[in-house]
Chain A
């Protein structure tokens, strides 16, 4: 696609190319743009995979839409590939992505501030500095918040001793430092939560990456994964991959073998399981229970589960008109809470909003997801899915995981695809590979 503005007709054509049959069929007359030459004001809260993608694609579909992105950080550090940083396979700095392309190439206004509150009746967002932004449509892509205290003993203060590292940044550095400071022969314990949580394969890739670090630096160390579930993403592939690359270093204990942790003592680096077993860690990594990011709760779009119910076709909130929510904050199962899904949802919802502002039906949605996991250098596995709407719900239409019996060359290629995937999706989202 060439640079510069595309007109609304081009935008509609583009959406038609994305499979927007009903959009064109129902198209009819496009209402004139709102006063002042704007096709509407959209405020996007959150500049991760979901929000940054959505802001960009809104401008691509209709440059006449005024798009403002609210994001506190000048650079977003991604959770995907942060495990590879822990494993010594990727530089932390390469996980950071800025907003220059959104501003310069696409004309998105980026405000580096925190959204504090939403007034859905007045259609405004209040920022931390007190400033208020007006919107015709609001998009929240806030990611996750930790449910502090839901797991007994796991508070903000505890996370400074037993990091979660489930939001990339200082927590990731803290965990890396603790692993580096650990003596050879120590025990790394990872506590994994019940569903749903951000990045279903994440805990299992993380222990593999920690094992990769231990293998070359602290080979007498052990890894214990205490899990609140009996089944996990790509389970067979992970179990085989762990054994193949690290022998007996990683022990996984599922919930039915008393792997469910009910109490954390961050001072003693000790955890207690449901049936009373105490485990002592040298480094303790707790992936805690989660919910939709703070601003989703302020906006009133969450339900009793703490997540956000959405209309499947558009990801419009089921509770608050004019508000759309995408990414990890939503209840989009069977789509997983992944960066790839947030990116795909960003595009589909951008199309839905442009259509909504124009007063026409949006395209039939289709989303895709691939989760690559790096088990070891040159050893990758993946799960892929294609999703659509069936009978009013999101459904998986096709998908699968890497073959169980793949040879070394296949695993090596998947590890290479993982890197290529990361570069492609960050390029698509922020313009920075």
Chain B
């Protein structure tokens, strides 16, 4: 049996070896978070993001990691010649890094999205935006996640509301001017990482796609991953040039889909 001192030395040794070979070395730690996550580097494909032009809002401290509000906005004229094509959101502290990919067209009018995400622990959240001209913007924000003792939470999903969806658009749009659309769907967003009472993993079952179409053409398409909070809540912009219909469709892993339509009114 090893003495406590020996155990301690052995741990130091292991720690020392790790320091040499692991990405915990100081130079690595000083790199921006988007250079430290393989999934983020894959999106960048070797490109260096231009400074600024993107904002990521998260609370400094969240008392409920199961649903942390997140807003990302990219400065962009959202014209055919110059617009944001995709915004990628990443967690650096969850079991899997991808949170969501939001694909936009110029008809969105404004590159701003609000949603609620799951954060397992205190960490950096990273947003990377790609424009149609091949430009990248990136930003990282630190969030401290605590679960307050007075906030111990229940874990029940109300099955009766499964796939119940809601959409709200502004009462009236000005032609070509962006207005914010709110969407919400009741879904447990089962991560695939949770055990049931018998200790077996509950299979992943999430809403994996949300598509918004204005008069039949896609304006926003969101690819969601397990780090999106239960009951996916998504706010985005549309800038219709004519009246008509906004249709939002949600697809989930169990093969179910639902569509909600709301009128778009212009003067």
> CB within 8 Å of B: which residues of A?
195-196, 200-201, 229-236, 239, 256-258, 274-276, 303-305, 331, 333-336, 338, 369, 371, 383-385, 387, 393-394, 396, 399-401
Which one, A231, A236, A239, A331, contacts B64 given CB within 8 A? A231
Q: Closest CB-CB distance, B203 to chain A, in whole Å?
A: 22
Which residues of B, 151-204, contact A by the 8 Å Cβ criterion? 151-154, 158, 161, 166-168, 182, 184, 186
Interface CB pairs A-B, < 8 A, 11? A195-B62, A230-B66, A231-B151, A233-B148, A239-B154, A256-B186, A257-B186, A275-B182, A369-B150, A384-B149, A396-B146
CB contacts (< 8 Å) of B146 on chain A: these are 333-334, 394, 396
How far apart are the CA atoms of A394 and B166 in the complex, in Å?
39
How far apart are the CA atoms of A371 and B233 in the complex, in Å?
31
B60–A336 CB distance below 8 A: no
How far apart are the CA atoms of A233 and B149 in the complex, in Å?
8
Which one, A235, A335, A401, contacts B148 given CB within 8 A? A335
Which one, B64, B158, B186, contacts A229 given CB within 8 A? B64
How far apart are the CA atoms of A152 and B144 in the complex, in Å?
29
Taking A195-B64, A334-B147 as contacts, is the C-beta distance between A275 and B168 under 8 angstroms?
A: yes
CB contacts (< 8 Å) of B233 on chain A: these are 256
- 1/0 per residue, CB under 8 A from A, across B66-79: the answer is 11000000000000
B182–A336 CB distance below 8 A: no
Taking A235-B154, A256-B186 as contacts, is the C-beta distance between A276 and B149 under 8 angstroms?
A: no
5 cross-chain pairs, A with B, having the tightest CB-CB distances, nearest first:
A385-B149, A231-B153, A256-B231, A336-B150, A200-B150
Q: Closest CB-CB distance, B183 to chain A, in whole Å?
A: 9
Instruction: Please give 13 more A-B residue pairs, beta carbons under 8 A apart, in addition to A230-B66, A231-B67, A231-B153.
Output: A195-B151, A196-B63, A230-B230, A233-B150, A239-B154, A256-B230, A258-B166, A331-B60, A333-B146, A334-B149, A369-B149, A383-B150, A396-B149
Which one, B60, B147, B150, B184, contacts A256 given CB within 8 A? B184
Which one, B67, B148, B167, B230, contacts A334 given CB within 8 A? B148
A232–B184 CB distance below 8 A: no
**B32 sits at the interface (CB 8 A):** no
**B59 sits at the interface (CB 8 A):** yes
Taking A236-B154, A274-B168 as contacts, is the C-beta distance between A231 and B66 under 8 angstroms?
A: yes
- Closest-by-CB residue of B relative to A238 is B154
How far apart are the CA atoms of A203 and B142 in the complex, in Å?
30
How far apart are the CA atoms of A394 and B63 in the complex, in Å?
13
- 1/0 per residue, CB under 8 A from A, across B42-84: the answer is 0000000000000000011111101100000000000000000
How far apart are the CA atoms of A303 and B60 in the complex, in Å?
10
B154–A274 CB distance below 8 A: no
Q: Closest CB-CB distance, B197 to chain A, in whole Å?
A: 15
CB contacts (< 8 Å) of B168 on chain A: these are 274-276
A200–B151 CB distance below 8 A: yes
- Closest-by-CB residue of A relative to B69 is A194
Q: Closest CB-CB distance, B24 to chain A, in whole Å?
A: 16
Q: Closest CB-CB distance, A310 to chain B, in whole Å?
A: 12
- Closest-by-CB residue of B relative to A333 is B146
Number of A-B contacts defined by CB within 8 Å: 96
CB contacts (< 8 Å) of B60 on chain A: these are 303-305, 331
How far apart are the CA atoms of A257 and B182 in the complex, in Å?
13
Q: Closest CB-CB distance, A23 to chain B, in whole Å?
A: 27
Taking A256-B233, A274-B168, A305-B60 as contacts, is the C-beta distance between A401 and B67 under 8 angstroms?
A: no
Q: Closest CB-CB distance, A291 to chain B, in whole Å?
A: 13
Q: Closest CB-CB distance, B164 to chain A, in whole Å?
A: 8
CB contacts (< 8 Å) of B150 on chain A: these are 200-201, 233-234, 336, 338, 369, 371, 383, 385
CB contacts (< 8 Å) of A232 on chain B: these are 151, 153
Which one, B62, B148, B153, B167, contacts A336 given CB within 8 A? B148
Q: Closest CB-CB distance, A244 to chain B, in whole Å?
A: 16
- Closest-by-CB residue of B relative to A395 is B146
CB contacts (< 8 Å) of B161 on chain A: these are 257
- Closest-by-CB residue of A relative to B164 is A257
Q: Closest CB-CB distance, A201 to chain B, in whole Å?
A: 6
CB contacts (< 8 Å) of B62 on chain A: these are 195
How far apart are the CA atoms of A396 and B150 in the complex, in Å?
11
CB contacts (< 8 Å) of A258 on chain B: these are 166, 184
CB contacts (< 8 Å) of B152 on chain A: these are 233-235, 383, 400-401
CB contacts (< 8 Å) of B182 on chain A: these are 274-275
- Closest-by-CB residue of B relative to A338 is B150
| Listed residue (A232, A338, A369, A394) with the most chain B CB atoms within 10 angstroms of its CB | A232
CB contacts (< 8 Å) of B61 on chain A: these are 196, 305, 331, 333
How far apart are the CA atoms of A257 and B231 in the complex, in Å?
9
How far apart are the CA atoms of A252 and B60 in the complex, in Å?
28
CB contacts (< 8 Å) of B66 on chain A: these are 230-231
CB contacts (< 8 Å) of A201 on chain B: these are 150
Q: Closest CB-CB distance, B64 to chain A, in whole Å?
A: 6
CB contacts (< 8 Å) of B154 on chain A: these are 231, 235-236, 239
How far apart are the CA atoms of A236 and B149 in the complex, in Å?
14
| Listed residue (A195, A256, A304, A400) with the most chain B CB atoms within 10 angstroms of its CB | A256
- Closest-by-CB residue of B relative to A196 is B63
How far apart are the CA atoms of A232 and B150 in the complex, in Å?
8
How far apart are the CA atoms of A401 and B60 in the complex, in Å?
27
- 1/0 per residue, CB under 8 A from A, across B114-151: the answer is 00000000000000000000000000000010111111
CB contacts (< 8 Å) of A335 on chain B: these are 148-149
CB contacts (< 8 Å) of A200 on chain B: these are 148, 150-151
How far apart are the CA atoms of A331 and B143 in the complex, in Å?
13
CB contacts (< 8 Å) of B167 on chain A: these are 275
How far apart are the CA atoms of A258 and B167 in the complex, in Å?
11
How far apart are the CA atoms of A195 and B148 in the complex, in Å?
10
Q: Closest CB-CB distance, A243 to chain B, in whole Å?
A: 14
How far apart are the CA atoms of A95 and B154 in the complex, in Å?
32
How far apart are the CA atoms of A385 and B150 in the complex, in Å?
8
